[in-house]
Structures are given as C-alpha cells and as structure tokens.
Amino acid sequence: MRSNILAWEVSENDFPSTGTIQEKMKFFVRYAILAPSGHNTQPWLFKINEDYIEVIADRTRALPVIDPEDVELIISAGAALENLFVAMKYFGYGPKIDYFPDEGDNDLLARVKLIEKYEPSDNDIKLFKAIPKRRTNRTQFADQGVDGLILQKIENCIYVDKTNLLVIKDSGKREEALKLIERGDKVQCEDKSFCRELAQWVHPNRKNSKDGIPGYAFGMNDLISYAGPFFIGNLEWGDIQAARDRNLVKGSPVLAVLECKENNPINWLFTGMSLSRMLLTACDEGISASYLNQPIEVPDLKKQLKEMLGLNGYPQLIIRMGYGKQVKATPRRDVDEVILALNDNLDNEED
C-alpha cells in the first residue's frame, strides 16, 4: 500500500474490470475509506464474501467522552457506506442493501450485495468524481454567498425519509446558535476527560499516523503542530477556541443543522449517508464544509439547540459551508487494515 495520504489518489483507471468480484469489492472499499469521521477515527470495517460486503462498526475506535452512545461513530460509518454505494454505482453495480441484517449483532450495520448492469446517472457520476476531491475545510471561507439554487440542490440530495437539513437563515437564530457553539467550546475545554480524548487524536504534521487530525488541518505549521496536543486544555484554550469559532461562523455563508427523524441506530446510519451525499454534492459545486458540533456533544446545549430551532427530530451535526481555499487531505488507514476477508483468495497485492 502506498502512503496513507496517497490513498486519496485512487484512480478509476485502476479498477480491476477483468478481476474477480472480490477484487472489485476491495477496490470499492478504497473509495469508502475516504469518507469523513469524527476526529478522523475511521471507525469502520468491511468483510468481503463471495458476492457481498458487510459494513461493520469498529467500536475499538470509539470516542466515549464526546460520543458515549456511539452516535457519531455510526454516522461516520454511514458516510463510508454511502461512499461505497457511490463507487459501486459508478462502475455499473446496483447495490442491494440489508440494513442491520442480524438482530443479534449491533455492529453489523449493512450487508451489500452487488447487482450488475446498473447504468449510472449523471448525478451518480458527479458524486463519484467528488469523492477524492472532498476535504474537511477548517479554514476561513471567502466572502462569497452560496447561490440559492445550489443550496436547494444540497438540501434536496439527502435521504429525506430519515433525515432533514435545516439551513439557519434567520440572523437572530444564527446568533443564538453561535452562542451555543461558543458555550460548547468552553464547557468542553473545562472537561479534562474531553481534553485528553481530543489530544490523543491530534498529531504533529510530520508524524506518520494513519488516523487522527494532523496539525495542518487546523492551520498549524510543522513546529507549532508538535505543541498542538499541549495547547488542548491549557492557556485559556476554551476562550481561544470560542473566539476562533465565532470568526469561522461569521465568515460562513451557510450554517445548517442535519437532524435525523428518529433517535435510533438506523437513523444515525442514514444521517451519515445523507452527510456523505451533502458533502459530495457541495464539493461538486466547489463548496467546502466543516463541523461545529460542540452544542450537540453537550446534552444540555443540544436540548437548547433543538428548542431554539424548533426541530421536530434530533440534531446530530452542525455544518458550516462556503467557498474555501484548497486544503491538504488527512491520512487514512490502509485498505488491508479495514478489510476482514472471508475468502482466502482475496487479492492481497501491494497497491
């Protein structure tokens, strides 16, 4: 396997069109692992059989402080599942999906069988092309609004039977949401357990890590990135982070909340699938995104957010969108590290 950054350089030209079905499924997983995840934990595994893939939650990569019920973990796996679907469709396979197929196994999120002779739509093609280009962009956005038709396209691309995207357009409610984000920053930064958990996943730029968040994702140079974990929880970090997030929100043309309609694992999974479709649709339009989930990760603030916005469902993600500068990709685990092969003949060659 090449460098974990070069995972983003996967090329459709390498698709094993004359290979076995297992080789093709392994290739699809290379696109699935480019999905976003909380703290870039990549909490997913894939089990390949003769004619289907199983998507499994990797709870060893959980975040028990900010995500005690593994909601964000399932959302992250749902994003990877959607990427998997997009790749399959592009190469002419219509996925047949069973969600949570085994009542006795809560880790088995989906079983996906490949059905040949699927004709990808123009939108399928656009989503696929966006997978290697998508990044989480934590930098300031340009002073440029998002066209209403583009925003409507993003709003309509999600799985509307399970999820809903609310764009906060009212200036008063937007300011209230911002105050909750600032409050969430301060509450979390006062929690030593939260700080320790986050520090475990923030890495210096030059560390050869396959997961977590490198300092450059926060705009740190190489030298400062070595001290990044130290800053977490020290030096009035809560006030500093709150001020930074206020500036990010003020400079973001779009602030939105993604909610699921029922608070259960299958709806969390669909939240992740909707998130992937949103981000890929936005990426295709040249729009960047990142997250400000602090109020959702603090129970009292989550309740306030839900009441303030008049949501009928359950808020799971706060997303900012706009036009951002190009940023580097974050690392990924090797494909062979996330595949549990049932077939001993599965191709294990160097990628």
Q: How far is CA 7 from CA 76, 129, 193, 280, 333, in A?
A: 18, 15, 32, 17, 8
DSSP type of residue 188: H
Are 118 and 94 in contact by the 8 Å Cβ rule? The answer is: yes
Are 44 and 333 in contact by the 8 Å Cβ rule? The answer is: no
State residue 283's pLDDT score: 98
351: confidence class by pLDDT, cuts 50, 70, 90: very low
User: If you average pLDDT over residues 182-197, what whole number do you get?
Assistant: 92
Q: What pLDDT digit, counting tens, does each position of 92-111 carry?
A: 999 899 999 998 899 999 99
Give the neighbor-by-neighbor strand order of the sheet with 254-260: 163-167, 254-260, 314-322, 288-291
Report d(CA 188, CA 196) in Å as an integer.
11
Q: What pLDDT digit, counting tens, does each position of 285-303 carry?
A: 999 999 999 999 999 999 9
Inform me whether the pLDDT recorded for 347 exceeds 80. Answer: no
Tokens of 291: 């997250």
For the chain, how big is the Rg over CA atoms in Å? 20
Quote the percentage of the chain above a pLDDT of 70: 90
280: confidence class by pLDDT, cuts 50, 70, 90: very high
Are 260 and 17 in contact by the 8 Å Cβ rule? The answer is: no
For residue 1, give the 3-state DSSP assignment. Answer: coil
State residue 254's pLDDT score: 98
DSSP type of residue 324: B
Tokens of 208: 């050869």
Judged on CB neighbours under 10 Å (0-12, 13-18, 19+), 143 is: exposed
Inform me whether the pLDDT recorded for 188 exceeds 80. Answer: yes
Inform me whether the pLDDT recorded for 2 exceeds 80. Answer: no
Tokens of 3: 């460098």
User: If you average pLDDT over residues 70-86, what whole number do you get?
Assistant: 98
Tokens of 75: 């959302």
Residue 213 sits at the vertex; the CA angle it makes with 326 and 248, to the nearest 5 degrees, is 55
345: confidence class by pLDDT, cuts 50, 70, 90: very low
DSSP type of residue 221: -
- Name residue 180's amino acid: L
139: confidence class by pLDDT, cuts 50, 70, 90: very high
Q: What pLDDT digit, counting tens, does each position of 220-264 carry?
A: 555 444 445 556 666 677 788 899 999 999 999 999 999 999 999
pLDDT averaged over every residue in the chain: 91
Report d(CA 292, CA 301) in Å as an integer.
13
State residue 230's pLDDT score: 54
Q: How far is CA 192 from CA 92, 97, 127, in A?
A: 49, 41, 40
Tokens of 250: 């003020």
Residue ranges and CATH numbers for the domains of the chain are 6-134+330-341 (3.40.109.30), 148-322 (3.40.109.10)
State residue 51's pLDDT score: 87
Inform me whether the pLDDT recorded for 350 exceeds 50. Answer: no
Query: Best-predicted range by mean pLDDT among 5-19, 50-64, 184-198?
Result: 50-64
Alpha carbon 89 to its chain's center? 20
Inform me whether the pLDDT recorded for 6 exceeds 90. Answer: no
State residue 222's pLDDT score: 52
Inform me whether the pLDDT recorded for 39 exceeds 60. Answer: yes
4: confidence class by pLDDT, cuts 50, 70, 90: low
DSSP type of residue 133: G
Q: What residues pair up with 324 in beta bridges, in sequence order?
A: 141
State residue 209's pLDDT score: 86
Q: Which helix (H) or strand (E) holds 47?
A: strand 44-48
